[in-house]
Structure 1
Amino acid sequence: MNSQTSSGQPSRERIERLDRLPVREDLRGKHPYGAPQLDVPILLNVNENTHGVPADARKAILQAVEDSLMDLNRYPDREFTELRRALAAYLGHGLSAENIWAGNGSNEVLQQILQAFAGSGRTVLGFPPTYSMYPLLASGTGTAYLSGQRSADFTLTADSAAEQVRRLSPHVVFLCSPNNPTGTALGLDVVKAVYSAGEASQTVVVVDEAYAEFAHDGAPSALSLLPGRERLIVTRTMSKAFALAGARLGYLAAAEEISDALRLVRLPYHLSAITQATAVAALRNSDSLLANVEAIKVQRDRIVQELQRLGLDPAPSDSNFVFFGGLNDPQAVWAGLLAAGVLVRDVGIAGHLRVTAGTEAETSAFLAELARLLGRQNPAVVLE
């Protein structure tokens, strides 16, 4: 039976059958989000934490989940109170549980934001290249997606971003920092300028900080800007630094009334008791879970250095991945790496690929194979 291609996209036959269904007109011709899920030894394409969950944290999570099973016949805490308290304590910045909201991954949190503040007849502004889910979330909520402009080097300045917000008057704007797929962080001047520019249109400003824990030392967070800015939202995730991509827990920090707005659109009991138990146990073991962040940053910086040595053009990265250009045929390089058992991400930008910073061994394998494909000296053996 014909179903899906290896990339996870529907086959031609499935698309034809889909087109016969009475789906919404604005969804016709759309494609779902989906990075290739292939069975290869080294997966460096979706920015997962490749170190996995440490043994002590696994033990604590297992115990918390086992304890939660006692009441699995009852609905979970609808307000996930203990989790919100734990997240507020982790973030600091004077935040309380009332400033926190959570969902099944940051994508659900972003979706709820659009359900509450966007929707039919409203607009959301993003600045591509950026996280590819933004237009899909807009489409799913009936929101018109506006594509803003970046500089030729994919950066975004305060003046440019603010001018676009004033001109387009979006109801919601997404600022991804560090940006995906480029890995570059925004200065707080950009966030402040965009927030001020959206005053007249009452634009809700969402700063997506999914990769914030991987930023270079001293990099500021938009969390510091929350006081006095009721339309500012900072979203985070436990998928990346906490190595909990499979647990699906995303969250936000904002003014208390933001959570009140999201309660109007969330599904009842949307966070399961097992999800809540897992996340709380992980936060209680944050030191253990975050211990690998510095090791990942070392490999991230190593990739940047070695790509430069190979004559390529990596972007500065404050994330756990590296976006790099200078490739004459990125599709051929992607295919060559895959043939060698290394899966990276083709983000559809001419001359560029993106690679997750993996373990030291995974990074060495990627660099060695890339050097071979480019016909250059193996950087793994020329490190100073």
Structure 2
Amino acid sequence: MSHKPHLGKIGEEVTIPSPIGSLDYDSDQILYQMAGGQVLVSNAPESIYDDGARRADGTCITGQINSTLYRDEVEGSFRFWAFHHNKSSQKLKFWIHICNITDHTVSLFKTMDGYGDGSATSAACTATTRFMNAVPERQLLAVIPPRDSFYFAYTGRGIEPLCSVVYVAEFRVVSLLSGEVAKVLVSHVVTRSEVEDPTPYAIAGRIARTNATATTSDDYRGILQHWGRKGEIRITLTEDCPVQCVKLAGIGYAGEQENLLSRWDVLGNPRERGEVRFIIPGKLNKLRQAYWYTEYTIDIHIANNTRQSIVQTLYGSIGVNPGFVHYQLNHGKTQSYHYNLKTAVRISADRDFRLRTMVMPSSWLPLGLFFLTGDGV
């Protein structure tokens, strides 16, 4: 009697055999195309402190509260995401301030959003799940005359000390008369909880200095040109190669990556919009690209040229750190699972399926998609 391979339950966490090599980034089995509009990202200063706190190099922190965290121009349909920790001694409000910089009245719509606060992991998981489950529906937020502004505090009355906040949202701005896409200036502002109008801080000539030092990065804020990736992965499993791994949100396969661009340096001074790099002379020159909250929609096709009858797909760690995966299969409901240092989660037993996923902030990257036959682990 032949042995039938056992298929574990969907959502079951399993250990990844080591070592597993991943497909090279120049592999022709993986191909992506950019999709969607711009993204305004606010993740620096990641932790916000009272005046007088010290950075890792001992320098004094000032001016992070009642300040803009990032400001830039966007157009048409765009997304926004922010991830910050309140390391101050007071409750803080986080605002989105939108200024109409055109000569005609514009309409501002919110299409969908996701919000979470609390511990860093809880806030990120909640916001990600809510956003992925949201049904796109345009809600008119404001009609903004030329050179006028609209703002709202997405944290309500504020975030308590030692809590984190994550917010991801999609908006659209169009001309009220023509319906054509319009351009606005968006400021992400943090204030004390008693502040009722963030405008004075949204129009200041400098923005908040981050907590970057000569040897510590804190620079992830800026603009990405596309919020999504449409991809195709074609995998062939053989007796000689029954397991294959594809990295996700790493250096990038063909069409996957783009550079983060910023109009501000880590000191809060304006500059020409350009790429963001973390440089330690003679040691490191790291280019910042698109990682968290990129929306992947991937058509996956697995050819099974082995004697095993079962194929399966796992999603999780490539041995870096524990975390969570959030995904949908074939337009279904969002699933969320935890993985550990060297584990992944079974997500599918199909040979052909569509995967939609977003990597939440605080995740160590890259993640891994593992394709294998039978138990395979």
TM over 0.5: no
* Structure (1 or 2) with the greater helix fraction: 1
From the CA coordinates, give the structure whose radius of gyration is larger: 2
> Please, what TM-score do these two structures have when normalized by structure 2?
0.27
Structure with the largest fraction of strand: 2
Tell me the TM-score normalized by structure 1. Answer: 0.26
If asked which structure has higher relative contact order (CA below 8 Å, sep 6+), I would say 2
